[in-house]
Structure 1
């Protein structure tokens, strides 16, 4: 487990962890050596000799151990809290670099459990578990070494407990592994169900199916309870077996000591001291069952955390190449996702300053095309270029700085309107933020909200309407002032007033920039310089609006349906 822990921590945190581990080991050895002084103390007391010097030495040794133990525990606590803070940052940064495709539907509950209880449990090893675990292992071994120095027969007899304890712990690990894994899966499912239940309240209530969803959530919670009970029951044999092993070994030592004392091979003082030492060994050994269970749970979380951190993000170029133009190109791009080919040999170009509209049926690959341009994924074949440079050679940070994206489903962070707009360019002045808001017609929203710019938007922007969230998103993109704009049908679910306001903001956003827009509404499509029709992951048609209508193909049919809807 220590190896996994050090690998998860990385080089920056592994060194203080090693120092803490060494300090804990020294403290455990010092504890065992301090108990060794009980032998001369008892010998002096029972033999009528002066015991004061030995008592002073014993007290000094115990005081030295106490200082070391305090320093080790304090170091463990400090390292644990530092690691927890650092690992939250490291996990967050790593998750932000993983491909979008990694975030499938099962990841919500998994990441929620990992970032909450899982990370606390894993990083709590240094603060709460490592010290007692090292003490439970090293202190008894040190005491056994001391016992062997006084009488090799008693020492060897005590050492015989080591393989028995190891076997019991190994069997306990195997017995609880399946229960721990099932508990994790149940926790993940229950967390996902809770999040799903909360997010789906409007839909469930509108459909009158909240009772059914309650049943699903109840089933998940009952599964957690069953898994928790199974985990507890799996640890009982280990605890009982360890207790019996320790008691049997202590009884055997007592019998062997009595036999040796009666035969005159060992003195009464030495026998009493050795039995005291053996009794002192029993306490940390008996604690191994509880500590071992907690460590196994922490190790399972460490393994899951390690698996996430070892997931390769999109590769970064060693020497980024910065494009000096902002035209776009897809050359024979093929992309597969979820077991199917989403784009199949797509080739198209967008000149600098040109507006390209992408239309087509659902599932044609329109949004995926935007994601590839922003390098949310890497292509399976072909190339995506910005300014003639492959996006894989540009570097994520440089590419993101050149692209502004406005999605159909806008997510806002739980903060103020101003804070959400400033995400586009955190260093912008107040005047620049206000100018972007006016251009997106967000100032109209700010004026009517209590609190104005300081009004909170709620989690995900829940306190704003869809049109208001879109205006915040457009203002954010305007503030970023990127030369390339990607739009994913931003007006498909808006009322006419909001749609008009959003269109006005979009027009200002697109001015003078290279634009690729996924569009369904004809008002959006007709503003494009060129239109591409995707169907089945391929370019079916390409040209201007009038040209494609005259062609009488897929776009003409699309236009006819839209015209009929407008009537």
Structure 2
């Protein structure tokens, strides 16, 4: 497996890691030259003191020291740039790349994955890998390469002392890699427990009103305490499981110093080597082991990354994206369903089965039926938020699965039952419908959707920040802003899923009139549970248990006295109900 695949890097990121490792090698080799420089100086001083030779001229050494400092500083600068500066830019690109990948994925992917899990991947896993790219990979690879170069030189110089000094390094690394089989399951369990804790926290924040209203505060806090304790214990086990082998390997490496002293002393005693050779080896050995102390700690972090973070990020990149043609210029906008069958998961019961009907351009087609009959699913299939398991959804005879989703959605305006607004101004939220719209066009859409009256009463009018998901507005106000956004977009296909469900009777009537005027000539698919809101539709498609059971104009369906007529009668009876 290549470095790019193993660590979820881009091409440029892999290149920068290699360059960072290269400059780490340069820094370590230059530092070794410093050790050699010091050894030569000490050798001449010892000779002067023990053999009566004249003291060396210090000027060349002073110049050499200055040159050494300049070279070392330059090498460090390049090392810092490639291991930190370019790596952080790579991390930024990677986060943007993950976001872009999520943007390209079909919505069916999000139906299978927990949002807290995805958030952890983008935030926590990306942060973990950022630290690995900057602090671990270049340093670790560079240290191993430079140590190999120095080891080869030592073996050439004196292989007996070299073996005595270096045997502990491969043994320490082998021990650490062997311990991975025990620590890896602990790391994965810790990550799983952290995710459970995050999901519980997110759920509490999202459902805080319901939790308080149902007196479940103590129960949820108790569950949170339990999950935090479980994560703390698993984290402790994981750190101990990795910490003990790391400390043990550092002790093993220190045995190399002892064996160097022992072997050097024996060779010094029998005259095989001189004192300065022994001294030089001890200098080099002390320099070799220091980087490996940090390398062992880095390996523990690298194991965590390669076992958990990198595979999770790579899994996102491996997910198949929704692809298709970037060009879509139909002559008409009839939306046709041909024997469409769809289920939300493998092995699940189909939500819709063999559905066929045509929503004609210039007409309003209403989808009605009991809850769970597949109405909202059909609108999402029409917009290619999901792809049908079988059958086809066509726009002017073109299968929507052959069109790139973003290209396709340029011709759709959508208002769903669950309104989503952003923590922005009213003007900014409406302008999402069409970024290049003028202020006058935004105001016209707002007035058509009956937003103007309540917006004028806000502290800063259209420049008022409305809070996360429009928290400062009522449900009806949020829905009207969503309608204004769709009207501003002005697409030839309009999907309305309970678009007036949160409006009072007066505003509902006014918005319906505005919709009737502004949606003329478009292909409109409307979902509504209030039968009176679809009585003016050109066509009604009645669904039951995922199948089309009736289809026709309101008058014809009432005359048939089927499911539609029954639903109209039941709502008429319920309207007379009082407390």
TM-score > 0.5, shorter chain as reference: yes
Q: Which residue of 2 aligns with 1:24?
A: 24
Alpha-carbon distance, 1:197 to partner: 0.5
Report the CA distance shift for 1:75/1:522 in structure 2 as closer, same or farther (over 3 A): same
Q: Distance in 2 between matches of 1:186 and 1:304?
A: 15
Return 300-309 or 151-160, whichever deviates more: 151-160
Q: d(CA) in 1 for partners of 2:43 and 2:5?
A: 45
Q: Deviations over 1:455-479 (max 9, x none)?
A: 1111111111111111111111111
The 5-angstrom pairing of residues 165-314 of structure 1 reads 165-299=172-306, 300-314=308-322
Distance change >3 Å, CA 19–CA 289, structure 1 → 2: closer
Aligned counterparts of 1:2 and 1:215: Cα–Cα separation in 2: 46
Cα pair 2:426 2:465 within 8 Å, conserved: yes
Given the superposition, is the C-alpha separation of residues 174 and 288 from structure 1 closer, same or farther in structure 2, using an over 3 Å criterion?
Answer: farther
Determine helix, strand or coil for the equivalent of 1:528.
coil
Instruction: Provide the secondary structure at the position in 2 that maps to 1:143.
Output: helix
Distance 1:124 1:81 in 2: 9
Which residue is equivalent to 1:8? 8
Which segment drifts farther, 292-301 or 482-491? 292-301
Counterpart position of 1:442 = 451
CA deviation string 1:89-119 (max 9, x = no partner) = 2111111121112113752211222222221
* Counterpart selection for 2:424 from 407, 412, 415: 415
Deviation at 1:337, TM superposition (A): 1.5
Distance in 1 between the 2:342 and 2:411 partners? 23
Question: Which range is displaced more, 88-97 or 39-48?
Answer: 39-48
Give 1:160 shift.
Answer: 2.1
Distance 1:341 1:29, change over 3 A: farther
Cα distance, 1:168–1:263 mapped onto 2, change above 3 Å: same
CA distance in 1 between counterparts of 2:344 and 2:112 reads: 14
Return the alpha-carbon distance in structure 2 between the equivalents of residues 176 and 547 of structure 1. 70
Instruction: Give 2:341's match in structure 1, choosing from 334, 353, 365.
Output: 334
Q: 1:475 to 1:85 in 2, by over 3 A?
A: same
**Where does the alignment leave 5 or more consecutive residues of structure 1 unmatched?**
none
**Cα distance between partner residues in 1 of 2:554 and 2:492:** 25
Q: Deviations over 1:421-452 (max 9, x none)?
A: 11111111111111111111111121011111
**Cα gap change, 1:215 to 1:106, in 2 (>3 Å):** farther
* Residue 152 of structure 2: aligned partner: 145
Q: 1:346/1:301 Cα in 2 relative to 1: closer, same or farther (>3 Å)?
A: same
How far is 1:13 from its partner? 4.2
Distance 1:304 1:254 in 2: 47
CA contact (8 A) 2:494 2:522 kept: yes
Cα distance, 1:353–1:14 mapped onto 2, change above 3 Å: farther
Per-residue deviation, 1:394: 2.5
Moved more, 518-527 or 18-27: 18-27
SS at match of 1:261: helix
Match of 2:462 in 1: 453
2:563 is aligned with 1:554: yes
2:111: which partner in 1? 104
**By how many angstroms is 1:133 displaced?**
2.2
Distance of 2:237 and 2:518 partners within structure 1:
58
Closer, same or farther in 2 for the Cα pair 1:502/1:11, shift >3 Å? farther
| TM-score, normalised with respect to structure 1 | 0.94
**Which residue in 2 is equivalent to 1:345?**
354
Alignment RMSD, CA only? 2.2
With over 3 angstroms needed to count, the CA separation of the structure-2 counterparts of 1:104 and 1:32, relative to structure 1, is farther
Q: CA deviation at 1:565?
A: 1.4
Name the CA shift for 1:106/1:336 in 2 (closer, same or farther; >3 Å).
closer
Which string of whole-angstrom CA distances, capped at 9 and with x for unpartnered residues, describes residues 37-68 of structure 1? 44433332322363744675466345423321
Q: Which runs of 5+ in 2 are unaligned?
A: none
SS of 1:332's partner is strand
**Structure 1 partner of 2:96:** 89
Is 222-231 or 124-133 further displaced after alignment?
124-133
Deviates more, 1:189-198 or 1:502-511: 502-511
Q: Is the 8 A contact 1:33 1:142 kept in 2?
A: no
3-state SS in 2 of match to 1:341: coil
CA contact 2:128–2:305 (8 Å) conserved in 1? yes
Answer yes or no: is the 8 Å Cα contact 2:328–2:408 preserved in 1: no
Q: How many residues align?
A: 566
> Aligned pair in 2 of structure 1 residues 7, 185: CA closer, same or farther (>3 Å)?
closer
Give the structure 1 partner of residue 134 of structure 2: 127
Tell me, in whole angstroms, the C-alpha distance in 2 between the residues paired with 1:325 and 1:16: 51
| SS in structure 2 at match of 1:86 | helix
Aligned residue number for residue 470 of structure 1: 479
